[in-house]
Structure formats: C-alpha cells, structure tokens
Amino acid sequence: MAQMWPILADFLLFLIKVVQGPADSTVPAVVGTRAVLRCRNTSVSSLISVVWKIRSKTGSHCLLAYRADTNKTDKTNCNERMTWESSPYHDPALQIHPVRLADEGNYTCEIATSDGTFCLVSALIVLVPPAVTLTHDSNGVVVCHASAGKPAAEISWAQGNGRSIENKTHHTNGTVTTLSSMSMINSTNAHVTCLVIHPAMNQTQTIELSPSDVTVNCMVEVQVPRNYQYQGKPGDSLSIECPVKYCTEKPAIKWCLIQGMKCLLLKDGPTRRSVWREGNVAVLNFMSIQQSNSGLYRCRAVVGSLSHESHAIRVIVRETTDFIPMTCEPQVLPGNLADNVVLSSVTGYRAVLSCSNMSLVNLISAVWKIRLRDGACCLLAYRADLNKTVRTNCSERMDWAARPDHDPTLQIHPVRLSDEGYYMCEIANIDGSLHQNYTLSVLEHEGFSLLLHYLLTGSIISCVIIVTILYCTLQHRGCFQGSLFHCNFPTVSTPEG
C-alpha cells in the first residue's frame, strides 16, 4: 500500500491536467476574512485520498493532500493560512484564513473514493471593500472616494441632480478607485449622502456631511447690481431686494443706512422689517416710506465667518411732480427781479444761459421755466429717469447747449428781440434742488456793432456814451426796474450763418 501512493499521486496529477476545464463554481471571499472551498462529500468508509491543487493568479503552485489509509496530510509549497476546514476524514473542505488578494486563483479538488475519482474546480475571487471618504473643496464641490475596491465600486448620490462626474483609476493589484464629484453650490441641502455600492459591503454606505462642513468652504454672495435704485412717493410701501446666493445654511441678513463713512445698522421696527422672500431674496420692507427714508442702503449676508456686502442701493422718496411742471404757469414768473442775474445778448447771435452750478451726480431733473416779455411762457425740461427732454411751447431756437445730463445749459440761437424775458433754471438731484433766475435783454445788432467798433478802436469815452445811451434806452423800455446792468459780453459768441 505504501508503494502505491506515488503512483496514485502521479495518476491524480495526470487526471487534473486532463480534467481541468472551466471552473465548476466561483467562490467570492472578502479580503482578510476566512474563505472556505468545498469539495465533494463522501462517506468516511469509501474515501481513499483527497488532493487540493492550487494555482494562484500570481503563478505559484501548491498541493494539499490527505491519504485515508495512513490518516496523514501532505503539504507542498502551501502557506500556513491554508488548512483543512475541520478534518479531511470527515469533510475535505479547504480553508484560507485570512484570505489575501494574492490567493485568488483556481482551486482543484481531486477526490478518490471507492466509487471513483472526482474532480471539482473552484475559482476563488477575492473582494476588496473600498475605503469610503466624503470630502469637499473650497468651491462647494463634494467628492466621494471609494478607494482601492475590487471590483470597482459604483457611486450614486442621494441628492443627485445628474451633474456628478465619475473617474475610475485602476491599480496594478487589480483594485479600482472610484471617485465621484458633485457641485453643491446651488443646493440648499444640509446633508450630502453618497451611496457606495459594492459586493463586499452588505449595505450601501451612507455618509452625511454636517451643514457646517459644507458651509465652511462655501461662498455667500449678495447679488445686487451696481447703481441700483428705487423711487417712491411719500406714503408708498417699498421693498428693497437683496438676492443672496449661498450653499446650505440660510445666511443672516443685516441692513444698514450709509451715513458718511459709516453704515448705521437698521433693526426691525414698526415701519420696516427684514424678511426672506422666495428664491433666496432677502427683502427690507417699508410699510410707508417718507422723504427721510431717502438715502443709500446696503445689505450684508453672514454665515459663520463668511459674509458679503452689497453695492449701495439708492432709495429716492419724493413727490413725483416736485420739479417737473406739466403745464406752463406764467403767473409764477417772474420772482424777485432784484435778485435776477441780468444777461444781454445781441440779435442774430447765440445766447447761452448756464444753469445752477449744482452737482449733476444723481440728477433727477433740469427745468428751464421761461416767461417772455409778451407774457407767453414755455418750459424745457429734462427728466433723468426717462433720459428724455419735454418741451412745452418753447421755440425751436431754444434748446440744450449740450447733453442735458452733462450740462443743462440753455442756448437760444439765433436770439431775437422777442426772446427777452425771465428765465429760471431749476436742477433737482437726490440731495435737493437749486435754481437760478435770469433776466435776458436783447440788443439790436446795429447798436451792438457800433459799440464793438468803438471798443476796438479804443475810444473809451465814446464807449461810455454809447453804453449810457443803450442803458437809458433799455431803462425807458422798463425792463430792469432798478437792477444793475451787466455788460455781459462773455455770454455772446460770434454769429453763425
């Protein structure tokens, strides 16, 4: 019987070569755990021998054999992690504990019994559960890593909106790292859940990110356009809007009123309240605005250590009809003539009347109210909000000298005698309004030429005489009623055409 063993072994190895075909079964095992490979069960009395022939993926071979007659086990090249599960005499199952990635391969069990010889091939597949981490970067992008899994893990998102990007990296040991990124910037979810699906894990892995984790690196942005303004009449209700972009946690909104270099914090009160409106818009509501509510406002969004401040938002409260009369009211003009600036012009020339020197920043309107000597009246008005000029009964010869929003100077070209009268220019800007009154007198061209001639030839005495004559003539017409006569030549330019 002892001599029979080598012969039997040779015969069995021959059989392995002949018999080995596709594996009969696939045995999955998670790395680090105990793997058991089963053979055919036979009755104790009929068992002759069992041989496990192992060929691993890495190319190494090993043999584990048992002979029933001698009740002895032979191990050739097999490492100590491979043993019988119990006793081969009862059950010839092979166990590997702990199983390693390198153990993957074909395990052939050859069993000889009195009923015959049987061969069973099992393919051992070693599963490696991936290490799962969920991180986020400063751009609000959340990344789910399933590192070195075998087979490759699949990742999905509980808050999936189809915008995730997947990347798989294959390692030389057969494991795969799966990475899935998803942008959470627009999300209002406090929790981010990535589901890792892998056969080595009993259940899908769920990781929740706390709101603070996300918001720490998330941005807060107030989206108020530059130079935004609201207008209203006293008594109106008004809502100032402050659209806010944020990640998860709703920011706290602070409103303030700019006063010089400071911005005074505004608390809720009986006349105003800060609220949230749909679509992430913070709103400051005024129940009934007053002229005193005019000014520059700011909103600020704060989440934790993050904050963002808006551009200044202008609020203008005024009676809309304040500065722009719709009709011409001659009885209003003239005012206190003694205070009027008197301008002189010459027929056929261009007369230029500059308006008040008030700042044109935040201009609301510029209006020329004109009452001519014959009692007719006209209006030339510019409305900044409409960027439009409104002309009421004014002659075509009266117009803006330039763009009214740059310089609301009036020009009359060519000037006629009938243009004599009272001119009032009123400029209104956000800070208030200022006006300037003029009395325009017009000289006949002929008289002016004579004056100019004497001026140029240096005859001062003649000039004084002519000026006196002109002054008396005009006095006689009753224009100036005691006001000073200004020989205002700089306002007269050379004739054109």
Ligand X SMILES: *[C@@H]1O[C@H](CO)[C@@H](O)[C@H](O)[C@H]1NC(C)=O
- Sites of contact with ligand X (CB under 6 A): 22-23, 30-31, 38, 41, 55, 57, 71, 89, 91, 101, 105-106, 123, 128, 148, 163, 167, 169, 171, 173, 175, 183, 185-186, 200-202, 328, 330, 332-336, 339, 357, 376-377, 387, 393, 424, 435, 437
- To the nearest whole angstrom, how small is the minimum distance from the Cβ of residue 357 to ligand X? 4
Comparing CB distances to ligand X, the nearer of 168 and 273 is 168
- Alpha-carbon span 455 to 373, nearest angstrom: 30
Question: In this structure, what token pair is assigned to residue 310?
Answer: 């808006």
- To the nearest whole angstrom, how small is the minimum distance from the Cβ of residue 353 to ligand X? 14
The one-letter amino acid at 172: T
Comparing CB distances to ligand X, the nearer of 255 and 382 is 382
Alpha-carbon separation of residue 163 from 183, 187, 224 (angstroms): 7, 12, 28
- To the nearest whole angstrom, how small is the minimum distance from the Cβ of residue 178 to ligand X? 10
Task: Decide: residue 88, CB within 10 A, 0-12 exposed, 13-18 middle, 19+ buried.
Answer: buried
Q: Closest CB to ligand X belongs to which residue?
A: 335
**Which DSSP string do the residues of 263-300 spell out, in sequence order?**
EEEE---SSEEEEEETTTEEEEEESS--GGG-EEEEEE
Which among 126, 118, 105, 6 is positioned nearest to 54, based on CA atoms? 105
Alpha-carbon separation of residue 160 from 134, 165, 218, 310 (angstroms): 15, 11, 19, 32
Comparing CB distances to ligand X, the nearer of 215 and 293 is 215
- To the nearest whole angstrom, how small is the minimum distance from the Cβ of residue 307 to ligand X? 21
Work out the number of other CB atoms within 10 angstroms of the CB of residue 90: 12
- To the nearest whole angstrom, how small is the minimum distance from the Cβ of residue 226 to ligand X? 14
Comparing CB distances to ligand X, the nearer of 319 and 329 is 329
- To the nearest whole angstrom, how small is the minimum distance from the Cβ of residue 333 to ligand X? 5
How far does CA 442 lie from the centroid of its chain?
61
- Alpha-carbon span 299 to 224, nearest angstrom: 9
Comparing CB distances to ligand X, the nearer of 204 and 285 is 204
Comparing CB distances to ligand X, the nearer of 105 and 238 is 105
- To the nearest whole angstrom, how small is the minimum distance from the Cβ of residue 274 to ligand X? 24
Per the CB < 8 A criterion, the answer to whether 74 and 64 are in contact is yes
Comparing CB distances to ligand X, the nearer of 11 and 118 is 118
Per the CB < 8 A criterion, the answer to whether 168 and 145 are in contact is no
